[in-house]
A = this chain, B = another copy of it.
Amino acid sequence: MSDIVREGDYVILYHSPNLRFLTKVEKGRRLDTIKGSIILDYVIGLEYGSKVKTSLGYEFVVTKPRIEDVMFELYKRPTQVIYPKDAAYIILKTGIGPGSIVIEAGVGSGFMTTFLAYYVRPNGKVYGYEKRPEFLEIAKKNLEKTGLLNWVELKLRDVVEQGFDLPDNYVDAVVLDLGYPWEMLSEIYRVLKHGGSAAVYLPSILQVYKMLDRLKQFNKFIDIEVVEILLRNWKIIPEELRPETWMIAHTGFIIFMRKPWNFRNF
């Protein structure tokens, strides 16, 4: 709590709810705002919670960023990501938590990876697979900014073609957000611990059909579920209390499955 800002830290410089900046503290850098500039050199060595003044005399609080602040900064328009409503339910339902060993494929820009890394701390691990090098690079940068890269091992690999380079019965959970998850059933089964869970995220319903059809043939997973989650926001003005006019009606379908505890097939 009496933490000191060090060079290289990401901090939030906070003036008001609508004027806050996530920035990396580096020598020789300056942050320019509509309320004036802040020389970042002066921030180094301050206690978190301290105030700094801009060139125009406005006060900003030096704040330690939290996961939600960083996510908010990094993914202002979170298209093509697993939405928080879905990410939250995937994590809870698969039992991913502190100490979990998790596979994620594909990583994309690292949005889901960030959540996973956040929850497996301090003694778990996320293996993040992605076949497109440019996305892996973006994900790496995003994870760095969140300070969560330590808990992630990013791997450039086409897992649909090549599988996971991990031992049998090794991971607690697998999260898949890629194109042909039904090609990976035996590989998911192999790598999961007994009792471990997988979650597969699929935008279109025909993909869900294909997945269910292959799961039925494969016939080894238990506790199969298909869900979709709808989040409805309400207006917050008391006298006008009603749901917002528009909502996101579809992000993706989630399929859950589990490797049973016993060791033979049945």
Residues of A within 8 A of B (CB): 12, 14-17, 20, 49, 59, 61, 63-64, 66-69, 84-85, 87-89, 91-93, 95, 97-99, 115, 118-119, 121-123, 194-195, 197, 203-206, 208-209, 212-213, 216, 222-251, 253, 260-263, 266
Contact = CB atoms under 8 A, between A and B. Distances in A.
Contacts of A230: 229-232
Contacts of A84: 89, 92-93
A88 B92 contact: yes
Contacts of A213: 238
A227 B240 CA distance: 15
Contact of A98 (B15, B122, B239, B245): B122
A206 B242 CA distance: 8
Looking at chain A's contact residues, the main secondary structure is: mixed
A209 B238 contact: yes
B92 A87 contact: yes
A88 B90 CA distance: 9
Contacts of A59: 262
Given A206-B241, A234-B228, A88 B98 contact: no
Contacts of A240: 204
B244 A250 contact: yes
A260 to B, nearest CB: 6
A190 to B, nearest CB: 16
Contact of A205 (B14, B115, B241): B241
A64 to B, nearest CB: 8
